[in-house]
Amino acid sequence: VLLPADYRPRTRLFANGTLTSGLLQGDLVVYGGGDPSWSERSYSIDTLAAGACDSTWTVVDAIAESLRARGLRRVTGKIVGDGSYFEPTLVHWSWDSFDLNWWYAAPVSGLGFHDNSVDFQIAPGGAVDQPPQIAWNPALPMFTFENRARTVPADSGTTIGDNFFRKPGTLDIWAEGTVAITRSPWIESFALPDPNYYAARALQAALQRKGISIEGGAASTTDSMVYRTLRCCGSPIVEYRGRPLPDIIFPILNTSQNWFAEMLLKTLARQVGDTGSWAKGLDVESRFLIDSVKIDSTAFALTDGSGLSAGNLVTPRAFVQLLSYMYRHPRKAPFIAGLPRAQQRGSLFRRFAGTPLQGRVLAKTGSIARVNTLSGYIEKANGSVITFSIQANAHDISNRQMLAQIDSVVVQLAR
């Protein structure tokens, strides 16, 4: 609602040096504009439209091809990922330290690649006491990894999922714990600390695959002053336009892609406010809720963009007010399309099976420790719509039990 309907984030590439006859004597600076969609995950899983899926390398390969088409063949300096479109603070101060290792709390900057996470693919070893098999994607040689885990008998537990670690301030990663020998292969997505370096490394690899040599490796910055003159006075070699706004909204709603939500909040801060920060983004969001939606300022307290922080507080009535406002809004289509629908792909895929509400609940889930929520719409058989919000805070039963209770309330509402 606050961004233009045709909004698409921009990534611009500048030559910090002389570019003559395909030779860049200096650095290639990649100035990110808050585009979260340098990714495969959200589109191979979420997007329902035929042909809409990206691969891990779609965006960086497209940028590399554009540079090659411009004649670039050699860079004597570095590929520099410049994330200064947003504030230099990459990690929210209220997020739990354990969460910082995982995809759902990945650092937030003006650049990013593959949801700023690496996917570790795990399978049991060939025999008990052997290390499990662990590979990763994207397979960029930018961190060290030590496999300290062991394969254990079938009747033993699998604990490796909570035992990936990174030495603070480094790219030294290791895994501990166990994998039951009968366990099916799965993926754990581990966050990396520097989104700008990650994106620069990915582009370096894509350029090298196209025969463009990079002599200085990759680097990163969040200092807005380093390349200020270049950005304000120079012309980009290449400009890449990211996916349209509805494609960014979709994974936020459909499968709770936290990193996309935080990137979009900081984009609001920069586009509608004046600084790409959490504080400014929350100010813009709060003013919208108070002035446009007419929600009482005492009915909510916002801390981040995704809801990962336990400091976010919103009443069910405030959610219903917002949902009612959005349902009436002339530009509601991307919002409604992004909401998970019961028994369809997304976070409600396994919800409401065997009830009269199969396919007729459109709602956003929410969960952190001992909290489960569901807010959205019930489409009744007579064509009317019920708007609802259910929140369970500080409960002491399992998530599965609580979700069943929430779903039973929704079924009763429909009756």
The fraction of the chain above a pLDDT of 90, given in percent, is 91
- Does position 50 have pLDDT exceeding 70, yes or no? no
Mean pLDDT of 259-284: 97
pLDDT, position 45: 67
Q: What is the pLDDT of residues 317-363, one digit of tens each?
A: 999 999 999 999 999 999 999 999 999 888 999 999 999 999 999 99
Under a CB-based contact definition with an 8 Å cutoff, are residues 197 and 80 in contact? no
For the chain, state the CA radius of gyration. 23
Q: Categorize the per-residue pLDDT at 46 as very low, low, confident or very high, splitting at 50, 70 and 90.
A: low
- Does position 47 have pLDDT exceeding 80, yes or no? no
Instruction: Please state whether the predicted TM-score (pTM) of the whole model is above 0.85.
Output: yes
pLDDT, position 340: 94
Q: Quote the tokens at residue 241.
A: 């336009």
pLDDT, position 169: 82
Q: Categorize the per-residue pLDDT at 49 as very low, low, confident or very high, splitting at 50, 70 and 90.
A: low
CA angle 311, 312, 318 (to 5 degrees): 150
CA–CA gap between residue 33 and residue 56 (Å, rounded)? 19
Q: Measuring CA to CA, how many Å separate 273 from each of 1, 302, 371? A: 15, 17, 32
Contacts for 160 with CB less than 8 Å, ≥ 6 apart: 122, 132, 149, 175, 176, 177, 178, 179, 188
Q: What is the pLDDT of residues 291-309, one digit of tens each?
A: 999 999 999 999 999 999 9
pLDDT, position 48: 62
- Does position 52 have pLDDT exceeding 90, yes or no? no
Q: What is the mean pLDDT of the chain?
A: 95
pLDDT, position 399: 93
pLDDT, position 339: 95
Compute the CA torsion angle 191, 196, 198, 200 (nearest 10 deg). 170
- Does position 384 have pLDDT exceeding 90, yes or no? yes
CA–CA gap between residue 133 and residue 126 (Å, rounded)? 9
Number of other CB atoms surrounding residue 346 within 10 Å? 24
- Does position 249 have pLDDT exceeding 70, yes or no? yes
Under a CB-based contact definition with an 8 Å cutoff, are residues 277 and 265 in contact? no
